[in-house]
A and B are shown apart, each in its own frame.
Chain A
């Protein structure tokens, strides 16, 4: 690991000032991704600003039924929070499906949003990687692609965003609050992460001097929501495909649907095409399949990840079936 200087920020203002005039600074949340990448020399900050003691650890109910989540809330604390477990079960489930208990105790919400891809070539300094080294090429294309994306990818990068938590946030219409010495702004989660296009090293709408301070969720469309994750082993593995869904039905018809996919795209993938097909359709397996087909029509695969398209289709159908199968869909 390269040497760096360490600043511990007791308050938000100190944190923002510490990065304002320092182009090569990084915030340190739980450190579970940053420390790993620094050890691999993928991240090489000159200054590390420790934000883990900032007082942004609240989970508060908002007037109107939404919730505000501080950026430094630990993943484990968020998953266990009664408000999240009862009103946004998909979020609690997504977090509990991710990483391990030790990592969830360390990881923060802000850090989970900004964690970087698990593409092995990105980690390996000897491989060409446009994300790590712009314009150097992409060793994954034509290489080992089991973990790579099938939606929203480009000829310059096919890496996926590895988060589970963010997939639930995408389905829940979350907004990200960010702050810098220049002021505060809000970014919808679905616009927070960027598609790779020809600049895969640009991963989010966040400026280098901006701190994520909170996530806000509007009141849920329904408390019937669910996360399903398919992976190579039963626990402690990243998603091959995951689905976050919330479904409201009335008289046998879908009256509201929220759907997002993980493991298949460079960002948490809000499945707008599928939602369009579902809305007003009978809550049946045929509709669920048609919705999945609509979303996956644009999918493109490599040799190693063709299976993900069919797996995503089946996982979407299964998740929606879960949400209607206990008799409460009328």
Chain B
């Protein structure tokens, strides 16, 4: 597999998820397992720059794709999350950051959302950020800080 810019040889069964391959086989435990069913976003990673849920991905399906995990991310969002208290326990945070990196790229590309529909992609309002980040739950309820952190970086 290609993970964070390096080739990682892996000998695994086809039923192993991308999430388990990263955590259990490659020791990249920054990516978290919350629900293991696509419902929380803790496992979010980037595949060729697009955010996906690694718990619903079979690792074998992503052979040759460029996977980026939190260990491979160096982004202003990380400092902004600290400054704005964008977390409490931190369990959802790597997923939030990977998701936000993907989200900012989508927004730049003109991807619409259920909030904008046909409006041209302008500045990201809090309502936009909440909608575009709705795939990442935070059990600690650090949403206000998360939204502020993302808004600061998006400016």
Binding site for B on A (CB under 8 A): 1-6, 8, 28, 30-32, 35-36, 38-39, 48, 50, 52, 76, 79-80, 85, 89, 92-93, 96-97, 99-103, 105-106, 234-236
Contact = CB atoms under 8 A, between A and B. Distances in A.
A32 B135 contact: no
B15 A3 contact: yes
A5 B14 contact: yes
B93 to A, nearest CB: 16
B60 A6 contact: yes
15 contacts: A1-B15, A3-B13, A50-B60, A50-B61, A92-B112, A97-B114, A100-B41, A100-B53, A101-B99, A101-B102, A101-B106, A102-B52, A102-B102, A103-B135, A105-B52
A28 B17 CA distance: 14
B33 interface: no
Interface string B56-69: 11101100000000
A76 B111 contact: yes
A101 B132 contact: yes
B11 interface: no
A4 B61 CA distance: 14
Nearest to A235: B134
A80 B111 contact: yes
A19 B135 CA distance: 34
A31 B51 contact: no
A47 B75 CA distance: 41
Given A79-B112, A89-B118, 18 more contacts: A3-B13, A3-B15, A28-B58, A30-B56, A31-B57, A31-B61, A32-B56, A48-B58, A52-B61, A85-B118, A96-B112, A96-B117, A100-B136, A101-B51, A101-B134, A102-B44, A102-B102, A236-B135
B110 interface: yes
Question: Closest 7 CB pairs between A and B?
Answer: A100-B135, A235-B134, A6-B14, A236-B134, A96-B114, A1-B15, A102-B135
Interface in B109-129: 109-114, 117-118
Contacts of B111: 76, 79-80
A106 B109 CA distance: 17
B44 A48 contact: no
Contacts of A93: 114, 117
B60 A102 contact: no
A28 B111 CA distance: 26
B37 interface: yes
Contacts of A3: 13-15
Contacts of B92: none
Contacts of B106: 76, 101
Nearest to A96: B114
B110 A32 contact: no
Nearest to A52: B61
A36 B38 contact: yes
Contacts of B133: 101
Nearest to B36: A39
Nearest to B13: A3
A6 B16 CA distance: 12
A169 B19 CA distance: 33
A235 to B, nearest CB: 4
